[in-house]
Structure formats: structure tokens, C-alpha cells
């Protein structure tokens, strides 16, 4: 049982950075397609479910969680596609010229909108998890905590990379 959980956690660690990849579209550069991103989301969901080993009574709380996870992934994909569209036109210019030609007010507004959307999605995810979390046994809570730490580390890393691309 512990070996399975450890294996799933290792798989989650390996797959999670791919799900947060900064290259969301198909192109010459070998970026991930929507189908690939959906497959990674499916894999992450399966890993979380398998790691938690939900009971039949707990399974009834799962659909809102899965829906919230999928919505976050969809919105992240849309944000990344927008970022790719905005940066494609700047590839011909040097970094200094790119900074000089940017409107800092638009940048702040776009950043605020993105942060508000991410906050709302995270709140929906937390709200969806609450009923299930209350039914988890101590082992399930410990496994969920481990998954959360890995996910937060990846989110932090992805946020840093996105911040660098915004400038």
C-alpha cells in the first residue's frame, strides 16, 4: 500500500510540472496541444484519486472537485494561450526594446485580472474539497497533505516563470 502511494506520488511529481508547462499550443517549437494538456489533467486527477483511495461513501463528494480541477486547468490554458499570443509579436525585438514598448498600466490590469481569476478558481477548488476533506481518515489526510505540498511547489515555480514572461 505504501509502495503504491509512494509510486503515485513520484508519478505526480513527474507529471505535475508538465501540466504547468508554459508552452500550451501546438507549433513548430513542439508545444503541448490541448489534447496533451487534457491528458495531463486526466492523469493528475487519476493520481489524486488513486493516492487518496476514496471509499464508496467518499466518492459522492468527488464530482465537484474534479469539475473545479478541470475548470482551473481550462482557465490556465486560456491564460497561457493569451500569453503566447502577446509574446509572439515581440520575438523580433530585444528585451530592452520589448520593455520600452510595453504599456505598464495594461500590464498591471492584465496581471490583476489573471490573479483575480486564479483566486476565484482556487476558492472554488477549496470549497469543493471541504466536504470530502471532512470525511478523510488520518492516512488519507496525510497523503493529501503530501500531494498539496508538491502541487503548491509546482504552482509557485510556474508563477515565477509566468512573472518573468510578463516582463
Going from the C-alpha of 126 to that of each of 4, 41, 45, 68, 108, the distances in angstroms are 26, 18, 15, 9, 26
* Size of the chain in residues: 167
Range of the domain at 34: 2-166
What does the pLDDT look like over 94-113, one tens digit per residue? 555 555 667 889 889 988 99
Q: What are phi and psi of 31, to 5 degrees?
A: -70, 160
What does the pLDDT look like over 48-64, one tens digit per residue? 999 999 999 999 999 99
Going from the C-alpha of 147 to that of each of 56, 84, 92, 124, 157, the distances in angstroms are 21, 29, 41, 18, 15
* Rounded (10°) angle between helices 34-52 and 2-19: 150
Q: What are phi and psi of 27, to 5 degrees?
A: -170, -175
pLDDT of 20 strictly over 90? no
* pTM of model > 0.85: no
Domain count, the chain: 1
pLDDT band at 41 (very low <50, low <70, confident <90, very high): very high
Q: Which residue has the cell 514598448?
A: 101
What does the pLDDT look like over 155-166, one tens digit per residue? 665 555 555 555
Q: How far is CA 62 from the centre of its chain?
A: 18
Q: What is the mean pLDDT of residues 109-134?
A: 93
pLDDT band at 78 (very low <50, low <70, confident <90, very high): confident
pLDDT of 4 strictly over 90? no
For position 150, what pLDDT does the model report?
83
Residues 143, 48: Cα–Cα separation, whole Å: 9
Going from the C-alpha of 46 to that of each of 11, 43, 51, 167, the distances in angstroms are 11, 5, 8, 35
Top pLDDT among 64 and 149 is at: 64
Q: What is the mean pLDDT of residues 120-135?
A: 95
Of 109, 163, 159, 140, the closest CA to residue 8 belongs to 140
Q: What is the mean pLDDT of residues 21-27?
A: 42
Of 79, 18, 105, 8, the closest CA to residue 49 belongs to 8
Amino acid at each position: 500500500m505504501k509502495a503504491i502511494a509512494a509510486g503515485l506520488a513520484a508519478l505526480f511529481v513527474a507529471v505535475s510540472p508538465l501540466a504547468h508547462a508554459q508552452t500550451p499550443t501546438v507549433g513548430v517549437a513542439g508545444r503541448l496541444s490541448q489534447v496533451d494538456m487534457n491528458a495531463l489533467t486526466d492523469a493528475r486527477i487519476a493520481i489524486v484519486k488513486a493516492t487518496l483511495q476514496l471509499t464508496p461513501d467518499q466518492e459522492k463528494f468527488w464530482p465537484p472537485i474534479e469539475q473545479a480541477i478541470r475548470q482551473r486547468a481550462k482557465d490556465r490554458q486560456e491564460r497561457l494561450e493569451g500569453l503566447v499570443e502577446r509574446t509572439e509579436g515581440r520575438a523580433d525585438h530585444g528585451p530592452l526594446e520589448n520593455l520600452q514598448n510595453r504599456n505598464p498600466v495594461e500590464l498591471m490590469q492584465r496581471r490583476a485580472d489573471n490573479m483575480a481569476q486564479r483566486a476565484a478558481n482556487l476558492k472554488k477548488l477549496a470549497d469543493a474539497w471541504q466536504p470530502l476533506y471532512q470525511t478523510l481518515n488520518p492516512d488519507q489526510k496525510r497523503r493529501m497533505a503530501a500531494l498539496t505540498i508538491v502541487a503548491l511547489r509546482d504552482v509557485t515555480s510556474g508563477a515565477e516563470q509566468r512573472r518573468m514572461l510578463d516582463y
